[in-house]
Structures are given as structure tokens and as C-alpha cells.
Structure 1
Amino acid sequence: MELLPHTVREQLAENGRINQARIAAGEDTIDFEPVVKFFTPDAGATWLLTEIDPADPDIAFGLCDLGLGFPEIGSVRLSELCAVRGRLELPVERDLHFTANATLSTYAERARQAGGIVA
């Protein structure tokens, strides 16, 4: 399975371009719904990503939870995400059934309350 198919990468890139343009115009960024969910099947880590940095397409932005009870909004290098392995050395997977039903900030608030991403 391809971790980041072209259509998903394009949506992440488009969201990144939109928010970069808003920042350049002095406007607030858009609180997008996550485009993709990644997880470790054997380690409890989860990432909900909304956009890719147009200046560096290896950097994605979203809600990150390493399974330690401290989810946070931030950036992750996609190349590093591809290198992550859990206890059984299984690679990160894309949740093929994930469909966002809220904005990233809503997922972040839910995650803070639950001590982990609930998606």
C-alpha cells in the first residue's frame, strides 16, 4: 500500500498553499479537517494531517500523538514518518477507512480530553 497516494498528497499540498497565502496576506489560517490518518499498528501512535508545507514538501502539519498521552498540533517530516517502526517492527499505515468529521482543532481538543487521538 502506498503511504501517501497522489490524490492525498495533492489535497495536503493545496491546503498548505491556501494557508501560506493567507499568512502572506495577514489573514488567519483555515482550520482544515484532517485529510489523512496514519497510525502504527503495533505502537499506538497516530497522526492526523491537514497540509504540507509548500516550501518543503517533506514537512506535514497536523495533530501528532506518539501514544504517550500527550497529543499536540505540530509538524512532522514525512520521510521520518515512513521510517517509524513499532514494537513488532511494523511500518506506519494509512487508515483507508478514515473520514474526517471535524476540524483539526476539534480533534485536538478531543485528544487533550481523552489523552490520545480519538478518530
Structure 2
Amino acid sequence: MSSSLFTENQRLTLVANGLRSNWDDHFDPTPVVKLFTPDANCTWLLSELDPTDQDRAFGLCDLGLGCPELGYVSLIELARIRGPFGLPVEQDRRFRANKPLSAYAAEAQTTSRVQA
């Protein structure tokens, strides 16, 4: 299911980040992938996949309601989401992270939205 949301290389990086997070409490990776709804205001900056459950991703989640937060999301559920015009979640292929996930989260708390 995740293959439609990101590449195999991105998946490998997400899993590696998930593995490192298990033993390094200070690990603050940059987001690997940015997902969004083209016909709604939802954005996900994903930095990790749970190595034991690769349906479970961690990142900064913004459902367009003014309260973005760090947390886990199901890739199966993301793949099922459709916006008001029926468009699925897409990857922003131009996105290149330039700071750690914590910096995106701090900025999102100030502006009430993900800016990436």
C-alpha cells in the first residue's frame, strides 16, 4: 500500500529512521516525505516508519484544522483518503527537507499549519 505514497528508497530511509529512534532518544531526523491532499488542506511530513509495523508512520500531521501535531498515522488509512473532489493523497516530489522534524513542528505550532 505504501508504494503509492513513496518510493522504495524513501521507505528504506523511513525504516532506518524508525530503527534509530528505538535506541536514540535524541534523534531528530529531517522529514523524508511530504504528503498532501491536492483538494483539501491536509499535510503530512513523515520521518519514520515503525520497523515492526510498516503501516505505522511517524511525523507531523496537519488535517487543516489549525492544530498540527506530531504523531503516528496509518499508511493504509492515508491511501484511502479522498478530498472533496475525490482526489487521493499525493507526494510532493519537489519537497526537500531543510531542517529537522522538531523545527517544522515548532513552526507549525506558531503558525497553526505545516509550512513546507
Please indicate the TM-score interval, normalised by the length of the shorter structure: over 0.9
What does residue 60 of structure 2 align with?
63
| 2:22 alignment counterpart | 20
Aligned residues: CA RMSD? 1.2
- Partner residue of 2:10 out of 8, 11, 24: 8
Matched with 2:79 is 82
What amino acid is aligned across from residue 85 of structure 1 in structure 2?
Answer: R
TM-score (norm 2): 0.94
Quick one: distance in 2 between partners of 1:117 and 1:44? 10
- Which whole-Å CA distance do the structure 2 matches of 1:36 and 1:29 have between them? 21
Q: Which residue of 2 aligns with 1:95?
A: 92
**Structure 2 residue identity aligned to 1:34:** P
Tell me how far 1:11 sits from its aligned partner.
0.4
Deviation at 1:55, TM superposition (A): 1.3
User: How far 1:29 moved relative to its partner?
Assistant: 3.7
Runs of 4+ in 1 over 2 A off after TM superposition: none
Please list the CA deviations of residues 1-20 of structure 1 after superposition, one character each: whole Å capped at 9, or x if unmatched: 93221011000001011111
Q: Structure 1 CA distance, aligned partners of 2:102 and 2:4?
A: 27
Return the index of the structure with the highest Cα Rg. Answer: 1
- Find the aligned partners of 1:9 and 1:99 in 2 and give their Cα distance: 16
Question: SS in structure 1 opposite 2:4?
Answer: coil
> Could you tell me the TM-score, scaled by structure 1's length?
0.92
The alignment status of 1:54 with 2:31, answered yes or no, reads no
What's the offset of the Cα at 1:71?
0.1
Distance 2:38 2:77 in 1: 17
